[in-house]
Amino acid sequence: MKSEEIRQYFLEFFEKRGHKIIPSSSLIPEDDPSVLLTTAGMQQFKKYFTREKDPIKDFGTQRVASIQKCFRTTDIEEIGDERHLSFFEMLGNFSFGPIVNDDPNDYGIGGYFKKASINWAYEFLKSLGLKIDYVSVFKGENNIPFDEESYNVWISLGFKKEDIKKFGKEDNFWGPTGEEGPCGPTTEIYIDNIEVWNLVFNEYYQTADKKLEKLKYPGVDTGMGFERLMKVLQKTPTIFETDLFEPLRTYVLNEKPDIAERDLRIILDHTRGAVFLIADGVRPSNLERGYILRRILRRLMLKLKIWDILSKKDVFIKAVIDKFKNIYKEIDNYDKIKEVIDKEFRGFEKTLERGLREFNKRINGNEKEEELGEKLFVLYTSFGLPLEISKELLKNMNIEITENSINIFNKLFKEHQKISKNI
């Protein structure tokens, strides 16, 4: 099944069960200064969990479902391995309290909780022919009790004790996003050893001073990574071979059949990420969201340049737009997106060319830690080559930069700043 069909199928599955389908919110959170970007499906619903807003009034039901655009920056350094992404989509169903009926056979509009949500997740995956390997539940920790209810629901579905793992707060407690917000114990579903679906039972509110208070009404917030779901459905080696990265992947491979896998993944991820950020109004800068976009654009440019496919950039942008424009109307804006990327690339081109030349001239890969830190400092201050780009180039030489080298770089940089200020 293609991703387009699964999108439809997911939304219909929950619509049939009383959920109102809500469009994805922007990657720039509307009403939440505590986070730079939207990282989870529940973010646009925070005020329904706290009951500052009334779901019945706004949606006519206590149940909603969505496919949310998300962007996580914690993982940017890891991108290039088999599973990390900056931009991704999350399929989710949500219930806002009070609990009216937790019976999975109830297709009404009232709030539900653990029994209905676990049953539906199970039913949904089963209907796709997927077999759950195992699940996890919250074992109880820090005065928050063991989630016996979820455990018992899984038992009632025929799961054996050994297939219901019990983990602590680190693994099976989610949230909040940003400084404060709804959070709670989770039950997580694993297929082919991948965590595919996270069911969060928002029973608490974490305050800005990190205290947990009971929410007036408990709610449900589930999130299923779309790329992961497609990987297990399409049985691809990694998420990057799923149709969510087509036709871009094919286009890049047609140009460069021998491209390093890691660089290919970075191109796939960063092209999508940049297109979606720009479409939602982010512009490259040295601050906050703008800096995130700048970083991924510059790394993207580096990869395209190294592989000599910079001239194909527009085709690659278009491939992403064509793939998603029927689902997210805002990205159907090729001229603007291209203009922003062109401007950033133009501004960085000279620095990158000179930086690459100097890097190749100065770095041989045999440097001691201290010497490497010094050289990277010179590359940055005299030639403008950002440290992240140097790190990328070192990675291509199979060199992981050490903590010591970074410390030297930072020390020299601080001294340099002091001197510059005094001048």
Q: Residue 220 interacts with ligand SER (CB under 6 A)?
A: no
| The binder of ligand SER chosen from 97, 223, 273, 284 (CB under 6 A) | 223
Contacts of 344 (CB under 8 A, 6+ apart): 284, 294, 297, 298, 301
Give the containing element (helix H, strand E) for 387: helix 387-396
Considering only 42, 189, 282, 300, the residue that binds ligand SER (CB under 6 A) is 42
One of 198, 271, 390, 405 touching ligand SER (CB under 6 A): 198
When CB distances to ligand SER are compared, the closest residue is: 223
By beta-carbon proximity to ligand SER, the closer residue of 19 and 303 is: 19
Binder of ligand SER out of 222, 242, 271, 405 (CB under 6 A): 222
Of 25 and 198, the one with the shorter C-beta distance to ligand SER is: 198
147 binds ligand SER (CB under 6 A): no
Can you state the angle between helices 313-324 and 248-255, rounded to 10 degrees? 160
* Three-state DSSP class for residue 298: helix
- Note whether 41 binds ligand SER by CB under 6 A: yes
For ligand SER, which is the closer residue by CB, 154 or 348? 154
- Whether 80 contacts 299, CB under 8 Å: no
How do strand 20-21 and strand 63-71 relate by DSSP bridges?
parallel
Q: Considering the complex, state which of residue 220 and residue 321 has its C-beta at the smaller distance from ligand SER.
A: 220
Min dist. Cβ of residue 41 to ligand SER (A): 5
Please tell me the total number of residues recorded for the chain in this structure: 423
Q: Which residue has the tokens 């770095």?
A: 363
Position 174 contacts ligand SER (CB under 6 A) = yes
Nearer to ligand SER, 42 or 274 (CB): 42
Residue among 3 and 202 whose Cβ is closer to ligand SER: 202
Residue located via tokens 């062109």: 342
Q: At what angle do helices 334-362 and 387-396 cross, to 10 degrees?
A: 70
Q: Please, which residues have CB within 8 angstroms of residue 142's CB and are 6 or more apart in sequence?
A: 169
Q: Give the whole-angstrom CA distance, residue 109 versus residue 59.
A: 10
The answer to the question of residue 221 lying near ligand SER (CB under 6 A) is yes
- Residue 227 exposed, middle or buried by CB count within 10 Å (0-12, 13-18, 19+): buried
Q: Of 200, 220, 282, 341, which one interacts with ligand SER (CB under 6 A)?
A: 200
Whole-angstrom Cα distance, residue 129 to residue 148? Answer: 28
Task: For residue 321, count other CB atoms closer than 10 A to its CB.
Answer: 19
Give the Cβ contact number of residue 174 at 10 Å.
Answer: 23
Query: Could you tell me which residues are beta bridge partners of residue 213?
Result: 205
Q: Which listed range, 38-46, 210-218, 233-241, 386-394, lies at the site for ligand SER (CB under 6 A)?
A: 38-46
Min dist CB 223 to ligand SER, Å, is 2
- Does the protein bind ligand SER through residue 38 (CB under 6 A)? no
**Binding of ligand SER at residue 71 (CB under 6 A)?**
no
Asked if 388 contacts 295 with a C-beta cutoff of 8 angstroms, the reply is yes
Query: 200 with 218: CB under 8 angstroms?
Result: no
Could you say which residues in the range 247-266 bind ligand SER, by CB under 6 A?
Answer: none
Residues 6+ apart with CB under 8 A from 354: 383, 384, 385
| Helices first, then strands: H and E counts in the chain | 15, 9
Please identify, using beta-carbon distances, which residue of 42 and 191 lies nearer to ligand SER: 42
Say whether 110 sits in a helix, a strand or coil.
coil
Stretch that binds ligand SER, among 34-42, 120-128, 148-156, 296-304 (CB under 6 A): 34-42
**Token output for 341:** 């990327």
Residues 72-111, interacting with ligand SER (CB under 6 A): 92
* Nearest-approach distance from CB 139 to ligand SER, in angstroms: 19
CB 63 within 8 A of CB 104: no
Q: How far is the CB of 405 from ligand SER (least distance, A)?
A: 35
Residue number, 121 or 309, with CB nearest to ligand SER: 121
Assigned token pair, 396: 């291509």
State the nearest-atom distance from the C-beta of 235 to ligand SER, in Å. Answer: 24
Number of amino acids touching ligand SER (CB under 6 A): 10
Closest approach, Cβ 121 to ligand SER, in A, equals: 12
For residue 14, give the nearest of 77, 87, 67 by alpha carbon.
Answer: 67
Q: How far is the CB of 227 from ligand SER (least distance, A)?
A: 13
**Nearest residue (CB) to ligand SER, 40 versus 230:** 40
CB of 94 to ligand SER, least distance (A): 8
Q: State which of positions 106-135 bind ligand SER (CB under 6 A).
A: none
Residues at the interface with ligand SER (CB under 6 A): 40-42, 92, 174, 198, 200, 221-223
